[in-house]
Structure 1
Amino acid sequence: MAAKNLSQLLTYHVVSLSSLMPASVCSTPAQGSKSLSGLLEVTHKYGPCSPLKQGNAKIPSLRQILIDDQTRVNSIHSKFSNQQSPVAGSKLKLPANSGISLGTGEFIVRIGFGTPKKDFTVVFDTGSDLTWIQCLPCTIQCFLQQDPYFNPSASSTYSNIQCGSAACSQVKSATGYSPSCTTDCIYQAAYNDGSTTEGYFSTDTLTLSSSAIFPNFKFGCGENNQAPLLLGSADGLLGLGRDPISIVSQTAQKYGKLFSYCLPSTTSSTGFLTFGSQAGASSSSLQYTPLLINSDRPDYYYITMTGISVEGQLLSIPESVFRTSGTIIDSGTVISRLAPTAYSALRLAFRLAMSKYPATASPYSLYDTCYDFSGYTSVQLPSIVLHLGGGTDLNVDESGILYHATSSVYCLAFSANDADTDLGILGNNQQKRFEVVYNVAGGKLGFGAGACS
């Protein structure tokens, strides 16, 4: 295995349990957010840092979040059910906040549309390509959102895309649905939790900052939308996938298909989303792993996992287990999914390392390794290191090892797939506090630790 000397890896974390719990007030903004212009702040959708008014948002329970997370994973797996072959091998910073992820619900940012500019809160997702917001006149239905609906007639730069145009033909690859046509291009998109959006595929000016303005940005202007669980009271979706209509591709001339984000450790802290450069981590601290492409599903971001270490000890998992499943990184999946063979080895090592703590008698939803820390203020957690292609070691932040389930119950924040052939997913819980740098054109993915709070 191409991992670093395991004796050099951290073997444990001493963690204050209060640090894993959200606070009632927003903490210090993301590191670096004051030094770069054009920062998009990332917040947790339901936390005190969120720009959304919580009275308008139906806050799901953890069980519901995990149910939705599994639905998302099932949807991703269904796209790969017959595809098990291995995969082939200027600056703007935006603050990122956690909101409800696509199908589960995690992270949101504020962006502007139209002339004059109107600001909207959108969920961002690396597993989606189409950017869309709700638009008047909402001919059939729109769900409630905090901001006023976008009014195309009030924007001097808005235009519907015409049927038969090259732009209209791009919709199917991004959504899976062929556009319907009379004169204007009508898009449709459906998501794994039953949410749907339909409306005009359009262009208008997209504003990310005062120095980052993109005329003729292609997006969905939805007039028939049903996505209350997917978005809550957010206004739409920002697609960070690889497709030609994603924001990554549409801003490539300025940013060269380079973006990064840092996801905050709790709902009461903030992160960022940035285009064109890394922002919170120093270049010297970044570790890169190859960013791969699967020609059958080129819209996802693939990486190679080679092994897992617990407490500095490499687990006995054949690399073929990881090659068989393949792995993607996904901002919208909450809990990382591992091949059952790999997860069983991780679970066994974790339980042995945690044997002095009281385990719960029954699992909690997707979690089968949980502990009751009643009476504890801090615990000693074994380190978990995910070994990736290129010799990169992702030493999971302490905030991504346990998930706070109930007042005193905390669970190992990983889960097993149904079969070793199911696609592995590096979820957002294990990405917390890392600046994750997507150098799409350069074919590499970077990780820089401690980039946000």
Structure 2
Amino acid sequence: MSFLLPIFLFLVGFFPNPAFCENAVSSMRFELIHSDGPELLGTAIKPENRLKHFRELVHRDFYRKKMVSEMLGRRRRATELSGDGNSFAMPMSSGAYARTGQYFVRFQVGTPAQKFLLVADTGSDLTWMNCRYRCRNCTNPGGRRRRVFHADSSSSFSPVKCSSAACQRLPFSLTTCPAPESPCAYDYRYADGSYAKGIFADESTTVTLSSGERVKLKGVVIGCSSSFDGSSFRAADGVLGLARSNHSFAVKATDHAGGKFSYCLVDHLSPKNASGYLSFGSATTPSDCKSAMQHTRLLLDPLLDPFYAVQVTGISVGGILLPIPRVVWDASSQGGVILDSGSSLTMLAEPAYRAVLSALSAPLMAFPKVDNKPFDFCFNVSGGGYKEDLVPILAVHLDGAARFEPPVKSYVIDVADGVKCIGILSASWPAISTIGNILQQNFLWEFDLHNGRLGFEPSTCGP
């Protein structure tokens, strides 16, 4: 399970998908809204300054990096889910204004449906929320204003029995089983010390199709958390699990919706009203709509579960391929690369990081250098003269001749007034490298789980 993704997703309903150029195919989508809106119950806190904000993101990213290192190599046993081919989607937006770097989703669960705000996490197996089940005199974690899922009020809530085989397959399930009919309990521990404790259950979630029809996804595994704690949850009611595990919401939803899900992340420092989306379903491109989408394969190896790994073949800066040892990109050895919307900043294994840092910083040496840890290269632009075209183009080369070229603003980032930094961090070798959400912003990313393929193309993420 993961430390939480520094992206908060709000599932608020359907709107047209510009990046897909969709025809009449039905899809499901959820909106990603900024985290300082009224939906967050007044919990938003603007950072005192950008540098403090980025230092907090880096702190969380290092915890997440530790979690990724611990999780890779673990195998996930899975159960097969069925679907009917429909698709759906949800809007997304940056959580920078809540000093979290996360995105939220508005999620509807139970019968009748109850609404919650969940952190969307590509490294979490479990979808869980603040919950009460057959509980007397319960306290409400996080204060009286936090939403609570009243499981006893849902006719579709069905606890998983601790004596069942399903309980043994679920992640972080406890071995204690007071009686055969007792619920299967869990204790999720996150790398930053946050935790969630509760019971597993099968439930129904409500989604809205692109046609406007509201349908229920049945048999979704959720966690009913009677207690949880940690700064990661200060503005949310729980977590939406988007990892590549048959227990996650992402796999359940894609099985229902054509085998694909996608997201588009707006700039993390976009205006409050900017939003992207999280979509589930297969969209087609009409003949009069030209797509710039490139594709590479997803490395769907059980040893890499539950993360989304890709095969990088090299990195170039200014059109020159950097001398990075191939072992850095070898997931079967001690390297490899994952695409992680849950990490804010990109972290490269040390040999790759040094080569990239040297190549990017060389043309920027004329600007006064500024010491702004944890970044290794920052410079002052308040004196003028800086233009983005001074920065060489960074390109990540992927298997299948795909080439990911993020905009300069995604790797030379504003961290304070008049100060920019190369926004990439080092991971001590051996290590897996992580492409974080800031580098991913303003692109549409499509995860085709059924065909083991990743697609990507530039996008404004707008309506």
Cα distance in 2, alignment partners of residues 374 and 432 from structure 1: 25
Change (3 A) 1:410 1:280: farther
- SS of 2:397 mapped into structure 1: strand
> 1:397 Cα deviation (Å)?
2.4
Cα distance in 2, alignment partners of residues 373 and 346 from structure 1: 21
What amino acid does structure 2 have at the position aligned with 1:379?
Answer: K
Query: Hey, what does 1:8 align to over in structure 2?
Result: none
The answer as to whether partners of 2:129 and 2:237 remain within 8 angstroms in 1 is: yes
Query: Hey, what does 2:39 align to over in structure 1?
Result: 51
> 1:318 Cα deviation (Å)?
3.4
Cα distance in 2, alignment partners of residues 187 and 140 from structure 1: 19
Task: Confirm whether residue 93 of structure 1 aligns to residue 89 of structure 2.
Answer: yes
Change (3 A) 1:311 1:56: closer
Task: Confirm whether residue 162 of structure 1 aligns to residue 161 of structure 2.
Answer: yes
Query: Hey, what does 1:207 align to over in structure 2?
Result: 206
- CA deviation profile, 1:162-186 (whole Å, cap 9, x unmatched): 22223322223xx4x4353331111
Match for residue 224 of structure 1 among 214, 223, 227 = 227
What amino acid does structure 1 have at the position aligned with 2:102?
Answer: E
Query: Hey, what does 2:83 align to over in structure 1?
Result: none
Query: Hey, what does 1:414 align to over in structure 2?
Result: 424
Cα distance in 1, alignment partners of residues 195 and 44 from structure 2: 20
Change (3 A) 1:57 1:235: farther
Change (3 A) 1:259 1:451: farther
- SS of 1:260 mapped into structure 2: strand
In the TM superposition, 1:112-151 aligns within 5 A as: 112-136=108-132, 137=135, 139=138, 142-144=141-143, 147-151=146-150
Cα distance in 1, alignment partners of residues 363 and 177 from structure 2: 60
Match for residue 276 of structure 1 among 278, 281, 293 = 281
The answer as to whether partners of 2:151 and 2:157 remain within 8 angstroms in 1 is: yes
Change (3 A) 1:452 1:145: farther
Task: Confirm whether residue 403 of structure 1 aligns to residue 413 of structure 2.
Answer: yes
Change (3 A) 1:377 1:278: farther
Task: Confirm whether residue 313 of structure 1 aligns to residue 299 of structure 2.
Answer: no
Cα distance in 2, alignment partners of residues 126 and 439 from structure 1: 15
Task: Confirm whether residue 111 of structure 1 aligns to residue 107 of structure 2.
Answer: yes
Query: Hey, what does 2:432 align to over in structure 1?
Result: 423
In the TM superposition, 1:51-450 aligns within 5 A as: 51-55=39-43, 61-80=53-72, 90-99=86-95, 105-136=101-132, 137=135, 139=138, 142-144=141-143, 147-172=146-171, 175=172, 177-182=173-178, 183-209=182-208, 210-227=213-230, 229-267=231-269, 268=271, 269-277=274-282, 284-323=291-330, 324-360=334-370, 362-365=371-374, 367-376=375-384, 379-380=387-388, 381-419=391-429, 421-450=430-459
Cα distance in 1, alignment partners of residues 354 and 281 from structure 2: 39
The CA RMSD measured in Å over matched residues stands at 3.0
What amino acid does structure 2 have at the position aligned with 1:115?
Answer: T
- SS of 2:166 mapped into structure 1: helix
Cα distance in 2, alignment partners of residues 439 and 112 from structure 1: 25
Count of residues in correspondence between the two structures:
408
The answer as to whether partners of 1:43 and 1:264 remain within 8 angstroms in 2 is: no
> 1:278 Cα deviation (Å)?
5.2
The answer as to whether partners of 1:336 and 1:427 remain within 8 angstroms in 2 is: yes
- SS of 2:39 mapped into structure 1: coil
Change (3 A) 1:132 1:145: farther
Query: Hey, what does 1:26 align to over in structure 2?
Result: none
The answer as to whether partners of 1:321 and 1:341 remain within 8 angstroms in 2 is: yes
Q: Provide structure 1 residue ranges, at least 5 long, that are not aligned to the other structure.
A: 1-28, 84-89
Cα distance in 2, alignment partners of residues 442 and 403 from structure 1: 35
The answer as to whether partners of 1:439 and 1:445 remain within 8 angstroms in 2 is: yes
- CA deviation profile, 1:204-224 (whole Å, cap 9, x unmatched): 221122434212321001001
Q: Which moved more, 1:104-113 or 1:269-278?
A: 104-113
Cα distance in 1, alignment partners of residues 314 and 250 from structure 2: 30
- CA deviation profile, 1:274-314 (whole Å, cap 9, x unmatched): 00135999673111111003333421211111111222222
> 1:372 Cα deviation (Å)?
1.5
- SS of 2:94 mapped into structure 1: strand
Q: Provide structure 2 residue ranges, at least 5 long, that are not aligned to the other structure.
A: 1-14, 76-85
> 1:129 Cα deviation (Å)?
1.0
Cα distance in 2, alignment partners of residues 130 and 399 from structure 1: 33
Cα distance in 2, alignment partners of residues 144 and 410 from structure 1: 38
Cα distance in 2, alignment partners of residues 279 and 272 from structure 1: 17
- CA deviation profile, 1:389-418 (whole Å, cap 9, x unmatched): 111100012331123222222211111111
Q: Percent identity at matched positions?
A: 29
Change (3 A) 1:377 1:247: farther
- CA deviation profile, 1:63-82 (whole Å, cap 9, x unmatched): 22211111111221234599
Q: Which moved more, 1:29-38 or 1:154-163?
A: 29-38
Give TM-score scaled by structure 1 length: 0.82
- SS of 1:284 mapped into structure 2: coil
Query: Hey, what does 1:87 align to over in structure 2?
Result: none
Cα distance in 1, alignment partners of residues 92 and 285 from structure 2: 12
Cα distance in 2, alignment partners of residues 378 and 280 from structure 1: 40
Cα distance in 1, alignment partners of residues 18 and 145 from structure 2: 28
Change (3 A) 1:121 1:411: same
Query: Hey, what does 2:78 align to over in structure 1?
Result: none
- SS of 2:256 mapped into structure 1: helix
> 1:436 Cα deviation (Å)?
0.8
Change (3 A) 1:237 1:278: farther
Query: Hey, what does 1:9 align to over in structure 2?
Result: none
Cα distance in 2, alignment partners of residues 163 and 425 from structure 1: 36
- CA deviation profile, 1:70-111 (whole Å, cap 9, x unmatched): 11112212345999xxxxxx32121113348xx964111111
